[in-house]
Chains A and B, each alone.
Chain A
Amino acid sequence: MTHDGLLRAYRRLRLLREFEERTRVEFQTGQIAGFTHLYAGMEAIAVGVCEHLTDEDRIISTHRGHGHCLAKGCDPAAMMLELWGSTDGLCRGKGGTMHIADFSRGMLGANAVVGAGAPIAVGAALASAMTGGTWVAVSFVGDGGTNIGSVYEAMNLAVVLKLPKIFVIEDNGWGEMTPIADVAGNRDLAARAAAMGMPAVSVDGVDFFAVHAAAGEAIARARRGGGPSTIVASAPRFYGHHEGDPQLYRSREEVAELRRREDCLPRFIGRVTAEGILSADEIAAVDADIARIMDDAVAKAKAGPRPVPADVHEHVYARYR
């Protein structure tokens, strides 16, 4: 990767992290309503994949969707406004944390139904194939989501129709409070996908470069008409399943240890500075800039215009009758 490419990737990684850290702080003040799932710890997956994508490429995300939105280019202030329920939010306050979408960025929505995005993203890939497009569609699904049957329906259909579709499985080891090992008959999630008849690889999702390389290969294959692939990327979840989760199922030490050993940001910084590609000054400048961007996003969210009751009726139909 080039210097500029890496600087851009670092900006994204830091933005994703800071967005979640700020969301967490603001959530605790009671400003943000709804079930809020933070992506902290898993940033290298979204960024590693989305750095290959343009606005024309489509993605569909999950309940833990802030990271995917930001990685796909959604404006952090417009997202924060959405978390606040403002009419200036990306979905005018109709969506909230679990339903952020920005069609102008090819972000077809975070989706609160586990696994549901996979079949829909197959449809996006189908539209690309039918219209002779070169764009691809990516769905993100959690490890827990791989136990949803329609994910395999989607995989099979994508294989049968040879669609430009990438299934990214985010393996954080947990589905809410249940360890995936207890509920997956085959813990090798890539093998499950491969059984549907497509290339499937497992990568270290803490390592931006590993994700980036695997995604690059899968996306290039899809673009040249080589059909779908699956990437299983494992990375920890630093916070609870949702904000307010007391995490009685794992110890503080365990989480602290994950933060020490499995944090994609120091991992990235260590490598690019050791290789002399980015300097400590450049990193610090990005950090300061992102902090400003997040301050601005939160300030805008707090001052954002509020919906009025009549807005309830808007946007149900293009035209009813």
Chain B
Amino acid sequence: MTIKSMRDALNEALHHEFERDPRVFLIGEDVGGFEKDGQPVEIGGVFGVSKGLYRKYGRKRVIDAPISEAAIIGAASGAALCGMRPIAEIMFADLTAVCFDQIVNQIAKFRYMFGGQCACPVVIRMTTGGGRNAGAQHSQTFYPIFTSFPGLKVVVPSNAYDAKGLLITAIRDEDPVIFFEPKVLYTEKCEVPDEAYAIPFGEAAMPREGEDVTLVAFGQSVNWAVQAADELRATRGIRCDVIDPRTPSPLDEETILESVAATGRLVVIDESPPRCGLTADVAALVADKGFRDLKAPIKTVTAPHTPVPQARELERAYLPNPRRIIAAVEEVLA
């Protein structure tokens, strides 16, 4: 057990699975490398997640694709239909907009539309979210959209430990998995075992426990929720359950409902815009199945209904933060 960044944890997961299963391969832009004067020059991904793979496995299993997202996803899914275990990398979640058809009309539909004849075990990895001042076209989350599609599984880890175990599960899963990597968390570190381990889908983590308020948060928002919970406890003696579903699809409804049954108070946090998102989804779940447990109205903490702004001050104003979460907790306790 050593302290590792999320980047290194994800990289280890890829190395474990490449080693374990020869059907696993990676296709994406700048994921591998090239040869110069007979010597390998490694790229290893623009965020360094695939480093070392090209050197070890070569072009055959680490495929640097043209900037052709539809072709990348199509190539991955077609190979998956023929027995391979492809991992496709899309550099930024925003860019799935140019291959949306291949994901939501093709991959998500094959098993169902063809009456259960086939599996399409493809993993599509992508960076997600704000916090790097990347502006409106490189900062969106997109995991709420994919969560709305039956046939896809959706993963968004909040820490290096979960990232590794969830990516391993994703690669071994028989169904298509959309795997979101919050880009600000690549350098965040925690204890991560050296060996391979799988974290099951649909089982929430609970980084903090408490009986007063339930906080449900996704991706990097989990860290803000934990900071808010720690501060509330230290300064006010308010104790929160912090629930990190880890996989928006399948969603661990039981853990959320059980927690709300105990606390009677719910705040849902995500950095996506407010409409048709995961905060609305969890609020609706509790309104539908846990309404009688509630002692106060549900509060959500989200981005505003605007594109993601670029300037530091603006993006800071845009993203949720512990202060806003604390204010929401105060409201549900009022």
Q: Chain B, interface size: which category?
A: 35 or more
**Nearest chain A CB to B28 CB, angstrom units:** 12
A157 touching B114 by the CB < 8 A rule? no
A89 touching B115 by the CB < 8 A rule? yes
From known contacts A95-B115, A124-B81, A315-B115, infer whether A150 and B153 are also in contact, taking CB-CB under 8 Å: no
Which residues of B42-74 are within 8 A (CB) of A? 60-61, 63, 65-66, 68-74
Q: Chain A, interface size: which category?
A: 35 or more
From known contacts A93-B115, A157-B66, infer whether A122 and B74 are also in contact, taking CB-CB under 8 Å: yes
Q: Give chain A's interface residues, CB within 8 Å of chain B.
A: 58, 60, 89-95, 99, 101-103, 108-109, 111, 113, 116, 118-128, 130-131, 137, 149-150, 153-154, 156-157, 160-161, 314-321
A130 touching B79 by the CB < 8 A rule? yes
**Nearest chain B CB to A306 CB, angstrom units:** 14
Stretch in B2-10, B12-20, B102-110, B134-142 with 4+ CB within 8 Å of A: B102-110
Q: Give chain B's interface residues, CB within 8 Å of chain A.
A: 25, 60-61, 63, 65-66, 68-84, 86, 99, 101-102, 105-106, 110-119, 150-151, 153, 173-175, 200-202, 250
11 contacts between A and B (CB under 8 A): A90-B117, A109-B114, A119-B70, A121-B78, A130-B84, A131-B84, A150-B71, A150-B74, A154-B74, A314-B116, A321-B200
A95 touching B113 by the CB < 8 A rule? yes
B78 touching A316 by the CB < 8 A rule? no
Nearest A residue (CB) for B111:
A315
**Nearest chain B CB to A133 CB, angstrom units:** 9
Q: A120-B75, A127-B82, A150-B74 are in contact. List 8 more A-B contacts (CB 8 A).
A: A91-B113, A101-B113, A113-B106, A116-B102, A116-B105, A123-B77, A128-B82, A316-B150
**Nearest chain A CB to B151 CB, angstrom units:** 6
A103 in complex: contacting residue of B99, B118, B173, CB < 8 Å? B118
Once bound together, how far apart are the Cα atoms of A92 and B73, in whole Å?
27
B79 touching A126 by the CB < 8 A rule? yes
Once bound together, how far apart are the Cα atoms of A101 and B72, in whole Å?
22
B63 touching A161 by the CB < 8 A rule? yes
A124 touching B82 by the CB < 8 A rule? yes
A156 touching B71 by the CB < 8 A rule? yes
Residues of A contacting B81 in the complex (Cβ-Cβ under 8 angstroms) = 58, 103, 108, 120, 123-124
From known contacts A128-B82, A157-B75, infer whether A317 and B116 are also in contact, taking CB-CB under 8 Å: no
A116 touching B115 by the CB < 8 A rule? no
B79 touching A156 by the CB < 8 A rule? no
A116 touching B106 by the CB < 8 A rule? yes
- In the complex, the 10 A-B pairs of residues with the closest C-beta atoms, listed nearest first: A123-B78, A119-B74, A92-B115, A321-B202, A91-B115, A318-B174, A127-B82, A150-B70, A153-B68, A153-B71
